[in-house]
Amino acid sequence: TLMAGLAAVTNRIQLFATCAVLTLPPPIAARMAVTIDSISHGRFGINIISGWQRREYTQMGIWPGSEHYRRRYEYCAEYVTIMRELWQAGHSDFKGDFFQMDDCRCLPMPSAKIPIICAAQSDAGTRFAAQYADYNFCGSGGVNQPTLVGPSVARLVEATAATGRDCGALILQMVIADETDAAAMAKWEHYKAGTDFEALAWRDAQAEDDPSKDPYSQPNKRRTLGIDKLPTNQGVLVGSYASVAGMLDELAAVPGVRGVMLTFDDFVIGMEQFGTRILPLMQCRADVRRAA
């Protein structure tokens, strides 16, 4: 609903809506996507959420059971297959373990390709992304370690080589910037001093419902990435505008990286800082600036 509203009042930006696959049948999600595609004139995509946090779904009585942890990406594979059949042909007779379509129809078809994004980190999730997604969010880690995401991206590159498809890596990254390195670091230390460790413990307990031992799965990835005791779910770049620009250039040079999704400590101020103070200093965007 948010993306439908934004589609009506924007003209250029690409819009992605999160689709928690356990909450909507794939034909309903496909039909809603086509509506937003029509409103946005082809600027819409879907972010697939496989459903790892059991208690999000038990509160609504729709958790399918612990077997979902093992087979959730098989479920997602059928889900995406059905949506794409409906978008490309207008009908589906798909028969699988989780869904059975009987001359299911979805018209009109979208005006443009509707890209699929996911945020898979585990080996099973990475294989799913390589086979079915157009982009995959790869989680970064640490503080001022932009290349730490390299192994995660390399796993995606290897998986896409096996499938022969193109699935680009998008990096999740937080930025805390100021005029000087010292000023930015002072903000970061202030945020860390206010860390709610009780909330972090609750967060981790939610994730541990998943029995997976994969180091990049939900219950383990924060420790793997070195962010389990930090007030963030991704790596953090802290520094002056020039320092952050330099670290983003380092990130852009990691083989396989296609883009970055930035979050900020204060999103209004942070977006303004990024556009006016950081972006002009990024060497990896110099060609884009010259073209503009």
Residue 201 has pLDDT above 90, yes or no: no
> Which pLDDT score, from 0 to 100, does residue 63 have?
96
Closest CA to 81 of 99, 64, 107: 99
**Cα distance between residue 6 and residue 3, in whole Å:** 5
pTM for the whole structure? 0.90
Indicate the pLDDT class of residue 199, thresholds 50, 70 and 90.
Answer: confident
pLDDT (0 to 100) of residue 52: 86
Amino acid letter, residue 222: R
**What percent of the chain has a predicted confidence (pLDDT) above 70?**
92
Contacts of 154 (CB under 8 A, 6+ apart): 255, 256
Neighbours of 192 (CB within 10 A): 14
